[in-house]
Every structure is written in C-alpha cells, then in structure tokens.
Chain A
Amino acid sequence: MTSTSENKANSSQGEAGEVERWASLIGGGALVLMGLRQGSLRGVLTALAGGGLLYQGATKQSTIQQAQEAMGINKPIKVEKTVTINKPADELYRFWHNFENLPTFMKHLKFVKVYNEKRSHWIANAPLGNNVEWDADILEDRENEFISWASVEGADVDNSGFVRFQKAPGDRGTEVKVVLEYNLPGGALAAAVAKIFGEEPEQQIGDDLRRFKMLMEAGEIATTEGQPTGRR
C-alpha cells in the first residue's frame, strides 16, 4: 500500500488530493512512511503537524539537510522497526507519551526532562563519558495513536522521530511502529555520535522496542547482567 501511494505522490502534484485521501483513510503514520522514501522525516512530520499541503511537506527538505548536502556531510541515519505488544494502545501510548520514561528501555538515553506539553530536554550517552544534549518539541500528538517529535534548532544531534500505535488483528494487542532519524554532525563528533547510536542502528531500535515490550508485558526487562560466571 505504501509503495503504491508513493508512486502516486511522485507522479505529479495534482495527485496530492489522492495523498490526502490516503492520509484520512489510514492516518498520518502511513503518510509519514510514504514521505520517508522521499525527503527528511522532519519535513514530513512538520508538514503533518502544520496540516499544510501534505505532498509538499513530504518532499520538502529541511534546511539542515540541505546545508549538510552542500557540505558533503553524511546522509541522515534513518531506522524503523515494528513490534507487537500484548497490551491495549492507550496503555502503551500513555507510557510513551511521558518521554521521561524512555530511558528505562532506550539504552543510549541517559535522561529526559519534560518541560511542558510541547518541549522536553534529552541527554544521551556518548563515548568516554561524554553526553550529547538537545531540546525536542512534540510536533503532532494524536491520543492513543501517534506521537511525533523533533529536536529544535541548535541540537548537538539533529533528530526526529515518531511512534504509531495500531490495533493488531485478533487479540494480539497493539502494533507499535517507531521511526527515527538522526542527522549526524560532521567531524570527530560524527564518529562519536555514530557509536552512540550503535554500529547497527536497526538492531538498537529493535532492542529498545523489545525492552519496551518486556517492560509493558512482563513488568520488567529480562537481563543476565550481574549473574555469576566462571569466565576469566
């Protein structure tokens, strides 16, 4: 479904009506996924939040990205992962919506402070005991369904993301999809930051989501850290 819509969106701007129809049918999450194949996540999320012309939003590139491309700096890291959790969407949404809960299952996050309904402050672990920090704003928030956010101007690491909660078929709970994007700064910091987000960012977000699932379903995160071993 996503690729079909994408083709339509690509074909001409006149098809925007079609895109909007899809959007109202299947929700912003799907539209964002479609947009991801074309431009930056931030652009899509911003357009979505602004409720403006969706097709333009989907293809509009962020200024940061344009600047980076001009300077020949790395492309953004974009990861997405879905997990099914045996809990109703509202419960999962509520837990996630308080960003201060995120470090309990997102390993690279050290601390998140929520200032108000819109803005929060994030601190992530960097190698050698360093931190990277940024402020983020919630861009769109649909109760029990969808939350998107993006770092504000001046972040150490420009990043954005969204989470979508969708009822799974049958009694299987809720399908939770997360998409994240990081625009890595250049130079020495880039290498350091790349390490924070793991050699394999897909695996890291997968592990994070699995810990979220464990916490929500089992009430604790399975671990073997601190157990005895005869290793030398």
Chain B
Amino acid sequence: MKAVCWQSANEVRVETVPDPKILNPRDAIIKITSTAICGSDLHIYGGYIPTVQQGDIIGHEFMGEVVEVGRGLDNLKVGDRVVVPSTIGCGRCNYCQSDMWSLCDNSNPKGWMQEKLYGNITSAIYGYSHLLGGYAGAQAEYIRVPFADVGVVKVPSEIPDDKLLFISDAIPTGYMGAELCDIQPGDTVAVWGCGAVGQFAMISAYMMGAEKVIAIDRFPERLAMAKKYAKAEVINYEEVNTGEALKEMTGGRGPDACIDAVGLEAHGVGLEDFYDQTKQKLRLETDRPHVLREMMVACRKGGTLSIMGVYGGFVDKIPLGAAFNKGLTFRMGQMHGQKYMHLLLQLILEDKLDPSFVVTHELPLEEAPHGYHIFQQKKDNCVKVVLKP
C-alpha cells in the first residue's frame, strides 16, 4: 500500500510499504477513505517530537471502512463505516473504565520509555512517535486498529466524510478543551490558536454556555474563519498586544478561562520568542511555552487554563508566581476520544454541528508532502488538509 513516511525534519515521502495485518484478536483493518493532517502532526514534521524514526508512517486523524476483523471482535463486521479516535484505549483498565482513554494503561507497548520520562505510561496514539506506542499511522491506504471493539464509532453511510472525519481528533480535542474550562453561564473564554482544534473549542465553549469567545492568532484567514463560523471576537497578536487587548475586552478582569490550542511550537513576539526559539534549536528546551506564559498572566484571578496544544518535554521560564498568587487552575491532557465520539456524532446527525468548514484543501495521498509544506508555511490560506488515499 501507499503510506506517508517520515524521513527527517521537514521531509515526508509517500512510499510503498507492506499492507497491515491483524496481529491481535481485537484488531481490525480499516481501508482509509479520508485522513487529515493535524496541527500536532506539524510538530512531528518539524522534528520536535522525540523518538520518531525514519520510515515511520504518520497521521492520526482518519475514518474509513472495515475490511478485516480479528477473531476477538463481535460488534464489527466487514463493510462497516467507522471513525476512529486518535488515542488508543483498551477499554478494560481503570483509566479507560473511568472514561480517561488517553491515559490507558495497556495500549502502549513501549511504555518503559514513557515511564522514565513521565513517571507513568499513557495511551498510545497512531503514528505519533515510539514514545507514544510506535503504532503505524493513518496517512496510508490501510491501517490496523487495535482494540477496535471499543476504539471506533460506526457512522451512517449517507453523511459525507468531511462532516464526520473530525470526530476522530480535532473536534473532541476542542470539545474537551472547552469542557475542562468548567464554563459557567456568562463566562468569557479566550482561545489561543485558530486551527481546527481552536475553532471547535470556540464552538464548544458557546455550546457550554460561554457568553463571549475571544480568538487569538496571527493569520487573517484563520481569524476570519473564527469570526464567521465560531462567532468569536478576534485578536491578531502581531498587530496588538494580546494581554492589553484581552484586558480591554473583559472590563479589566481578564478571561474566565483560557484555552491553549497551539502547543509546543508557539510563536511569540520580541525577545522572549527569540529566547525560546534559540533554546529549542539548541535542544536546551524541548517546547516553546509562549502561549502558556501569556495565558497565565492574562487569565482572571481564580480562572482556569485548559491546555490542549501538545507539549512533549520541558519548558523554561514559567511565571508560576502569577499562576500561584492568582489561584489559577490548570487542566490539560490528550483528548479522550472514545468518551466524546458518540455524543459528537449525535450533534452532527442532528445538524447541530457541521465541522466541514475547516477543510481548505483536499489532496490525493500522493500529494502529502505538498500538503505538509503549505500547512506548515500557512501558504495558500491553508487551515486544514484532508488526504484522500
């Protein structure tokens, strides 16, 4: 089959590799009909995620059709159309059974690496480094899905892929980002980053009772999307000072909750950004925590920070004094896809949510290298690339 294989920083290639096989009883093989490039794939593309190896098949946002099932599966059959959450959960450990699927004890076969780095083992994610399990990713014609009995949601055939695909990753990530804010009626929520996750976080925040949502980014086309589809007020941080603007827009209080939908490759302005970029390049710091710092200072006293952008390792110069003295709450984590997928499907079926507006580019799988390039460089107004194997 054809698959997108990571080569080195800023280089992916479409290669011919063997087809996946059933390896365990609860496995299924899915023929992929749509797969997206996620913003967090850019961290891999850019070479910022440790333990990605040359030749690894990447990608974790996908849907398709079941073509083979393992002998341990009785609720799936060949021909079923399914969306698959990006995090892999066994469904049987304490964490999965508590709906904390991204903290699954049993899905990561290379857990010892994580145990050393993080002190515990978290769930695996498709195509997201060996630290996170080393599973072959979804930017391919076929994929092996472990624990498929609990790891997929069946979807009806009459709804187009574009409306369903993002149940896999971007919508539950945005939705969980808003849920972690514990939004009270009348709250103002600020969202850093207007990619797909940011857009869905804003929409979700309104669904949960926010009165005002403020979007922060530097690309006019993304801010326009946030204004049009997510009904957000916008801040272009290259034109105005984010902290001052947020104060002005919230009567001097600061937002009640702040969502980071950017992660470890955040861009800032000025000296501090130069500091992070330099330290990251010299490998003295793995992640650039610009958004984190800004959120800690901008948030109102007693407010909540919800971190959905991916961080991998270590960050520097965190204004903990601000967070401590203002009594902030930090909540974060990889999203628990299996917890949200049924609810999100229902919202889409009831026409309460149509996520297809984020798709700006649809390309054949062969053009994945081009897709990565324009997404990373934000060329051609690119917000979301969907690959069609």
Contact = CB atoms under 8 A, between A and B. Distances in A.
Do A and B pair up? The answer is yes
Contacts of A224: 23, 109-110, 133-136
A207 B146 contact: no
Given A228-B1, A228-B17, A229-B55, A222 B106 contact: yes
A227 B111 CA distance: 18
Given A224-B133, A224-B135, A229-B56, A86 B108 contact: no
Given A231-B54, A232-B55, A226 B112 contact: no
B103 interface: no
A217 B96 CA distance: 11
A228 B112 contact: no
B23 A229 contact: no
Contact of B106 (A206, A213, A225, A227): A213
Nearest to A171: B94
B92 interface: yes
Contacts of B335: none
Contact of A230 (B17, B23, B24): B17
A219 B136 contact: no
Nearest to B21: A226
A217 B26 contact: no
Contact of A86 (B17, B54, B92, B135): B92
A172 B251 CA distance: 47
Interface in A183-205: 203
A214 interface: yes
Contact of A203 (B90, B112, B146): B112
A223 interface: yes
B90 to A, nearest CB: 4
A194 B97 CA distance: 39
A218 B109 CA distance: 13
Contacts of A226: 21, 23
Contacts of A84: 94
B72 interface: yes
Contacts of B133: 222, 224
B225 interface: no
Given A217-B106, A222-B106, A224-B135, A229 B72 contact: no
B134 to A, nearest CB: 5
B93 A230 contact: no
Interface of chain B: mostly helix, strand, loop or mixed: loop
Contacts of B112: 203, 206-207, 210
A105 to B, nearest CB: 12
A227 B97 contact: no
Most chain B beta-carbon neighbours within 10 Å: one of A173, A225, A229: A229
B144 interface: yes
Contacts of B121: 210
A222 B72 contact: no
Given A213-B105, A217-B106, A228 B19 contact: yes
Nearest to A200: B112
A219 B146 CA distance: 12
Given A206-B115, A223-B23, A223-B24, A229 B106 contact: no
Say which size band chain B's interface belongs to.
Answer: 35 or more
Contacts of A173: 94
Contacts of B144: 227
Contacts of A206: 112, 115
Contact of A228 (B20, B54, B93): B20
Contacts of A143: none
B3 interface: yes
B94 A172 contact: yes
A210 B144 CA distance: 22
Contacts of A86: 92-94, 97
A76 B24 CA distance: 37
B252 interface: no
Interface string B81-103: 00000000011111001000000
A18 interface: no
Nearest to A232: B55
Contacts of B56: 229-231
A218 B24 CA distance: 11
B212 to A, nearest CB: 41
A165 B224 CA distance: 59
Nearest to B116: A203
Contacts of B204: none
A157 to B, nearest CB: 23
Nearest to A206: B112
B25 A219 contact: yes
Contacts of A210: 111-112, 121
A214 B124 CA distance: 14
Interface of A: 84, 86, 171-173, 203, 206-207, 210, 213-214, 217-232
Given A218-B93, A222-B124, A232-B55, 8 more contacts: A86-B97, A206-B112, A217-B90, A217-B93, A222-B24, A224-B135, A228-B20, A229-B56
25 contacts: A84-B94, A203-B112, A210-B111, A213-B93, A213-B105, A213-B106, A214-B90, A217-B90, A217-B93, A217-B105, A218-B90, A218-B91, A218-B92, A220-B25, A220-B72, A221-B24, A221-B109, A224-B23, A225-B23, A227-B23, A228-B140, A230-B5, A230-B55, A231-B53, A232-B54
The 8 closest A-B pairs by CB, nearest first: A231-B55, A230-B5, A218-B90, A230-B55, A230-B15, A228-B17, A222-B109, A220-B24
